[in-house]
Structure 1
């Protein structure tokens, strides 16, 4: 039996705590492929993610705070380029940017440059972290894959900035932290004490009252975020400025989608399509043992292949509908069969919807979001 997430999602403290730079170097040297996520052990509301494979870097991003980070990076590095659409925080940067690239027919070379710039900025923060909680997901990749660059090529141009961020870690751990003015008089006194620093720091006094992170402060004040953090570090040490976390973490339960399919390719496709959009994917590859796990987990939506060894999807769906705890859960049949008789058999077995292979990620996501929302609405009635 092969499946993942059959137990409750572990807390950050249950994950190994590592030095991010060492982990990244090890994965690259072993030419492993996958996705590394590092959560800041001092502020679990902040985490960074790196995609890589075959010794090459594919992309790096924050897992949150896109509406704060991307405007800063774009204004600093590509001032003539503006995102014309609002940037949601509940999706991945890569997914959002790829949709934007396709919708606006951006030149591929320009778009790759944009991805490289964002990757470099994220790597500065990833590599500067002294410790973090590790999650490594082998063979999780990007679709489409548009950037593949040597690690050294991306890191060498920003090596000095990485070292500076690393030196600041003991005082200010992340540009996502939110500085708050505690003592205005002491702040101004310290600002003017540094030769020539007081004037531009005096201009951000009002901004320090607005619950902004360092990225937002730098964007609004038109400053380099590393310069701003370096200038404010003495004020933090002296107590003139306090630091708040990026956000207060509340326990969030991600909707769970169970995928019952003996194809590793389909499992990977479903995982990539749904996890970036906030779903947890429960992978079940043995249909005969899937029912036990489904009862244990009670997912929000069940995706089920029809053609599987040992037990086909029709039979499994009928068994699901006979279990009180599962009978109201939406079941989507995944199949290459398009015939009317096959659809009728699926309906008679109790399935909710029918998705014909091959299907695209947007089609799958839209259906799962619809069924998940409908199920949540029914459960609240």
Structure 2
């Protein structure tokens, strides 16, 4: 859930309670900060819970749940690339004309399993979307009714998270010698260790391993936790997330207040802000980072903005980079001096975040044209 990465950290339990107390309708999305490849979503209507699921790994999770509870859907297709449980379950229910009561029970079980996992998270990135709903809507249950039977599991998973973030994490044998020693000493636990690979590239997630062994995933995680903590078993994320490089915008300004304002205005829109407060040291950093746009104050100590802009235009690697002057001066002479120094655009203080963002977005995608 990349859109949530710039949101503040929030307790999922408190966010859930707030949505329920305000009787809101929509969808809450939760991203695990300890493993960004793992996410959860929960659907609400008037404060009632309609469904909860994972945002990835649907096949692994569903296969485990269906085998554990034996509700007559063992033949349900669970494609590896599925990103939502709900349409898969509804299509199977409609195609096979399954009893509605049994199907609602399965929806509740899937929801409980998801609630356990994300309520065990202390803090996460959370986003709420007010217009998202389910079609068809088949479940509407008070939160208390769902959570009371499984609340002890939440506390147990919260303790396990120090070593195993969630049942989606993949494990493999990291220390072969110590692993064999453990198996020799604890032969009765061999069942839980079958199916674990020595190859990190073939590491198995806990949901899949629990499905293969036919045991509860919480029991499995609790049994493997000491081995993970001691380093006998290695732990990997469910998926490796490749972070795309954020476009860089440089801000050369000796004012910490302006630097903070620029960061708040641009970082939430996916830009990385390179803050440079000493204009005498700016050029090497600008050459190294190659920003899309350079924001520059005119009134700075040692070197003013006009002189620094001229210096930028003399550097081959920077001469085509748009330069925006940030200044409280708005006279015709100031604009002429800015043009002669080679600046591209001019923003007069005070300006609002929307104006700054619009100017940056415009210049980041257009050729350099001086003011």
Residue 39 of structure 1: which of 31, 39, 42 is its match? 31
| Structure 2: gaps of 5 or more residues | 245-371
Q: In the alignment, is residue 18 of structure 1 matched against residue 15 of structure 2?
A: no
User: Could you tell me how far 1:58 is from its partner in structure 2?
Assistant: 0.4
CA shift digits 1:318-352 (9 cap, x unpaired): xxxxxxxxxxxxxxxxxxxxxxxxxxxxxxxxxxx
Residue 75 of structure 2: which of 78, 83, 95 is its match? 83
Structure 2 contact 42–53 (Cα < 8 Å) conserved: yes
TM-score, with normalisation over the residues of structure 1?
Answer: 0.60
1:17–1:185 Cα change, 3 Å: same
Aligned residue number for residue 66 of structure 1: 58
Q: Separation in 2 of the partners of 1:122 and 1:242?
A: 24
Q: Separation in 1 of the partners of 2:126 and 2:182?
A: 38
Aligned residue number for residue 137 of structure 2: 145
Corresponding residue SS for 2:56: coil
Q: Separation in 2 of the partners of 1:173 and 1:221?
A: 20
Aligned residue number for residue 237 of structure 1: 229
Structure 1 contact 192–198 (Cα < 8 Å) conserved: no
CA shift digits 1:18-77 (9 cap, x unpaired): 111111011111111110000001111000000012121100000110110000011001
Aligned residue number for residue 183 of structure 1: 175
Structure 2 contact 205–238 (Cα < 8 Å) conserved: yes
1:207–1:180 Cα change, 3 Å: closer
Residue 120 of structure 2: which of 128, 144, 148 is its match? 128
Q: In the alignment, is residue 28 of structure 1 matched against residue 20 of structure 2?
A: yes
User: Could you tell me how far 1:208 is from its partner in structure 2?
Assistant: 7.5
Q: Separation in 1 of the partners of 2:189 and 2:14?
A: 39
Q: Separation in 2 of the partners of 1:37 and 1:163?
A: 21
1:104–1:50 Cα change, 3 Å: same
Q: In the alignment, is residue 203 of structure 1 matched against residue 176 of structure 2?
A: no
Corresponding residue SS for 1:42: coil
Moved more, 116-125 or 99-108: 99-108
Structural RMSD (CA):
2.2
User: Could you tell me how far 1:240 is from its partner in structure 2?
Assistant: 0.7
Number of aligned residues: 243
| Structure 1: gaps of 5 or more residues | 1-8, 253-381
Corresponding residue SS for 1:149: coil
Corresponding residue SS for 1:172: coil
Structure 2 contact 71–106 (Cα < 8 Å) conserved: no
CA shift digits 1:140-182 (9 cap, x unpaired): 2111110001101100111111111111111111100101111
CA shift digits 1:155-213 (9 cap, x unpaired): 0111111111111111111100101111123124345656x743323434448763210
Structure 1 contact 18–131 (Cα < 8 Å) conserved: yes
**Which structure would you say has the larger Rg?**
2
Structure 1 contact 191–201 (Cα < 8 Å) conserved: no
Q: Separation in 2 of the partners of 1:207 and 1:214?
A: 15
Structure 1 contact 179–208 (Cα < 8 Å) conserved: no
Q: Separation in 2 of the partners of 1:140 and 1:202?
A: 41
Q: Separation in 2 of the partners of 1:147 and 1:94?
A: 11
1:27–1:192 Cα change, 3 Å: farther
Q: Separation in 2 of the partners of 1:243 and 1:153?
A: 34
1:190–1:111 Cα change, 3 Å: same
Residue 108 of structure 1: which of 100, 105, 111 is its match? 100
Q: Separation in 2 of the partners of 1:61 and 1:116?
A: 11
TM-score, with normalisation over the residues of structure 2?
Answer: 0.61
CA shift digits 1:71-120 (9 cap, x unpaired): 00110012643134343533421122112211221111111111011001
